[in-house]
């Protein structure tokens, strides 16, 4: 499989007539697409490489439609003749989710599922909801190019519900009667299909797919769009798990959406609300399936950290509107809320994820909502982008400089992978300098952790910096987290700043 590096570089050369001075991989999330920031200082573009041509065709077709309607989406600057690569206008790095996390005021532990919601974030959400109806009702994309389905139809819904069944319920060890559950799925789908569905459905309309650039929101990652109901995208945005929007703010933003869409579309509020809880439910189910699949099978354990937030959303949802017709599903929801997952701190990975479990049908991850006397925030970062911010008001903590250590990033083989990938881990484990460095780090941090626990302090920051924030600092942050979990009962939170 092509890494995407050379195709993106070649396409940039075709566009500009010269090679890019900068070409930095942008860490992906749940997608196999590969992203690169390319160009020169102050003038960059985003290169995208994706071997799924059908998905590329859908994205590029939707983009042309949206640009014709003057909607804020990235301009396509170039496309490769083989359909595998394209260049987009660079909208920067600030997503709505990142803005929310950087500006909200945590109530105590910032891993808690209760937060203040800043007015500035609320205003951004309202700007987003001003644009959403235009995507939904003002565009006529070519639905023949939708991928994998032209509509959020019975087949699509059943896929999502099975995703939830196999990758969340079974992995979490939640018992159910499979035939009764399948019967409920059919009733549930029939109910959802009664909602009007002749609109554009963005499909993944959530805070990480909204960029804040030049004082307005811009929209990305709509390649999964298809024809569907209005409710789904609103549910995706307002019940976005780790955005953790308070219920009163959700209600206010939903009312704002009603005002926005009423200005451009004949809108039946009562009809919308009749089906809205059902679409919130299926969106949460789909997300839980994704968290299980990405976290367990793909070993991207940070996805598992969203599970408590999704379950909290499910608990707050008035799903009783259809629960009498869905007895097995209702029983499962109640079981999920009471006992969401089986937890084993011994089996946790460094960021609260999973490791090799003795039971393949159970998700093991650290309960990030469990209170601890001390929280240790371990961050990797790039010195080129400044020091990590202290969000606790305590003035920060340790900063360890990893730039004197052997750098795997100097070798082409390691350039597009990180300190969480086996080849880089093997490279750095074999370096005596790294082992000596970490021995000193462990001794210094252990001394502070013991003292902080004795004095009942609540926060400690430990930061590892290197040139790009991709290899050495990431490896060290993961190693320290693993060490502290073996030595102490503390709440470990690992943040790889440049990878987010």
Do 240 and 100 meet the contact criterion of CB atoms below 8 Å apart?
Answer: no
Do 96 and 124 meet the contact criterion of CB atoms below 8 Å apart?
Answer: yes
Window from 18-32, 197-211, 233-247, 249-263 with minimum mean pLDDT: 18-32
Residue 386 burial (CB count, 10 A): 10
Residue 375 has pLDDT above 50, yes or no: yes
Q: List, as one string, the DSSP characters of 152-174.
A: S-HHHHHHHHHHHIIIIITTBT-
Q: What is the pLDDT of residues 81-129, one digit of tens each?
A: 999 999 999 999 999 999 998 887 544 444 434 457 899 999 999 999 9
For the chain, the maximum distance between any two Cα atoms, rounded to a whole number of angstroms, is 69
Arithmetic mean of pLDDT over the chain: 86
Which pLDDT score is estimated for 359? 46
Cis peptide leading into residue 148 (ω within 30°): yes
96-341 fold = Aminoglycoside 3'-phosphotransferase; Chain: A, domain 2 (3.90.1200)
Window from 70-84, 419-433, 462-476 with minimum mean pLDDT: 419-433
Structure token pair of residue 166? 């196999």
Q: 395 pLDDT band (50/70/90 cuts)?
A: confident
% of the chain at pLDDT higher than 70: 87
Residue 163 burial (CB count, 10 A): 18
Question: Does an H or E element contain 255, and which?
Answer: helix 247-262
List the one residue out of 287, 273, 165, 289 whose CA is nearest residue 229: 273
- β-strands 199-201, 226-228: how paired? antiparallel
Q: Burial letters for 62-83: b for 16+ Cβ neighbours within 10 Å, e otherwise?
A: bbebbeeeebbbbebbeebeee
Which pLDDT score is estimated for 335? 85
- Whole-model pTM: value is 0.68
Window from 99-103, 144-148, 454-458 with minimum mean pLDDT: 454-458
Report, as an integer, the average pLDDT of 450-466: 90
Report, as an integer, the average pLDDT of 19-47: 87
Q: Which residues contact 242 (CB under 8 A, 6 or more apart)?
A: 97, 305, 306, 309
List the one residue out of 75, 94, 84 whose CA is nearest residue 33: 84
Please tell me the class of the 5-89 domain. alpha beta
From CA 301, how far away is CA 310, in angstroms rounded? 15
Q: What is the pLDDT of residues 150-208, one digit of tens each?
A: 999 999 999 999 999 988 888 777 889 999 999 999 999 999 999 999 999 999 999 99
Q: List, as one string, the DSSP characters of 128-139.
A: HHHHHHHHHHS-
Residue spans of the domains in the chain: they are: 5-89, 96-341, 375-499
Which segments within 9-161 are labelled E, that is strand? 22-26, 34-40, 43-49, 76-79, 85-89
Residue 366 has pLDDT above 80, yes or no: no
* Helices 230-238 and 269-292, axial angle in degrees (round to 10): 60
Q: What is the pLDDT of residues 128-137, one digit of tens each?
A: 999 999 999 9
Position with higher pLDDT, 411 vs 60: 60
In the block, which residue shows the tokens 């869905």? 326
Window from 12-16, 182-186, 401-405, 489-493 with minimum mean pLDDT: 489-493
Most confident stretch, 242-246, 334-338, 368-372: 242-246
From CA 3, how far away is CA 254, in angstroms rounded? 42
Window from 165-179, 263-277, 290-304, 444-458 with minimum mean pLDDT: 290-304
List the one residue out of 286, 200, 306 whose CA is nearest residue 244: 306
Q: What is the pLDDT of residues 198-239, one digit of tens each?
A: 999 999 999 999 999 999 999 999 999 999 999 999 999 999
Radius of gyration of the chain from its Cα atoms, rounded to whole angstroms: 23
Which pLDDT score is estimated for 59? 97
Residue 371 has pLDDT above 50, yes or no: no
From CA 179, how far away is CA 174, in angstroms rounded? 15
Which pLDDT score is estimated for 108? 40
Position with higher pLDDT, 410 vs 344: 410
Window from 286-300, 342-356, 400-414 with minimum mean pLDDT: 342-356
From CA 222, how far away is CA 60, in angstroms rounded? 10
Do 343 and 364 meet the contact criterion of CB atoms below 8 Å apart?
Answer: yes
From CA 126, how far away is CA 259, in angstroms rounded? 11
Do 284 and 243 meet the contact criterion of CB atoms below 8 Å apart?
Answer: no
């Amino acid at each position: 499989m092509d890494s995407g590096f050379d195709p993106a570089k070649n396409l940039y050369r075709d566009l500009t007539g010269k090679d890019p001075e900068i070409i930095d991989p942008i860490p992906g999330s749940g997608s196999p697409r590969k992203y690169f920031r390319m160009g020169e200082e102050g003038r960059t573009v985003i290169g995208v490489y994706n071997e799924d041509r059908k998905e590329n065709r859908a994205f590029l077709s939707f983009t042309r439609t949206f640009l014709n309607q003057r909607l804020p989406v990235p301009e396509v600057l170039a496309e490769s003749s083989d359909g595998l690569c394209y260049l987009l206008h660079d909208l920067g790095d600030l997503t709505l989710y990142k803005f929310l996390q950087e500006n909200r005021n945590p109530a105590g532990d910032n891993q808690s599922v209760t937060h203040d919601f800043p007015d500035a974030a609320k205003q951004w959400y309202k700007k987003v909801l001003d644009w959403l109806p235009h995507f939904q009702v003002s565009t006529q994309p070519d639905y023949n190019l939708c991928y994998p389905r032209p509509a959020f139809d019975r087949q699509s819904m059943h896929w999502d519900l099975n995703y939830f069944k196999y990758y969340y319920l079974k992995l979490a060890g939640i018992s159910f009667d499979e035939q009764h559950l399948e019967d409920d799925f059919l009733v549930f789908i029939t109910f959802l299909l009664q909602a009007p569905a002749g609109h554009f459905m963005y499909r993944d309309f959530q805070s990480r797919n909204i960029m804040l650039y030049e004082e307005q929101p811009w929209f990305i990652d709509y390649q999964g769009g298809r024809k569907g109901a209005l409710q789904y995208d609103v549910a995706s945005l307002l019940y976005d798990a780790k955005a953790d929007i308070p219920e009163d703010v959700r209600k206010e933003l939903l009312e704002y959406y009603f005002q926005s869409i009423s200005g451009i579309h004949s809108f039946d509020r009562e009809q919308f609300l009749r089906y809205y809880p059902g679409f919130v439910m299926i969106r949460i189910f789909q997300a839980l399936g994704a968290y299980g699949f990405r976290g367990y099978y793909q070993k991207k354990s940070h996805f598992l950290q969203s599970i408590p937030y999704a379950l909290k959303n499910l608990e707050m949802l008035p799903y009783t509107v259809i629960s009498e017709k869905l007895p097995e599903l209702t029983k499962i929801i109640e079981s999920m809320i009471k006992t969401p997952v089986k937890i084993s701190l011994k089996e946790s990975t460094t960021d609260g994820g999973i490791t090799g479990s003795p039971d393949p049908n159970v998700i093991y991850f650290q309960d990030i909502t469990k209170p601890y006397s001390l929280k240790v925030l371990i961050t990797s970062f790039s010195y080129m982008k400044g020091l990590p911010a202290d969000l606790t008001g305590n003035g920060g903590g340790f900063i360890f400089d990893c730039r004197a250590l052997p750098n795997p990033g100097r070798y082409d083989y390691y350039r597009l992978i990180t300190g969480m990938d086996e080849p880089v881990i093997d490279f750095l484990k074999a370096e005596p300098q790294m082992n000596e460095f970490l021995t000193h780090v462990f001794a210094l941090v252990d001394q502070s952790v013991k003292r902080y626990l004795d004095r009942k302090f609540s926060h400690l920051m430990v930061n590892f910096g290197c040139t790009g924030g991709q290899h050495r600092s990431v490896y060290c942050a993961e190693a320290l987290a693993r060490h502290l979990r073996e030595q102490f009962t503390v709440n470990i939170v690992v943040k790889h700043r440049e990878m987010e």
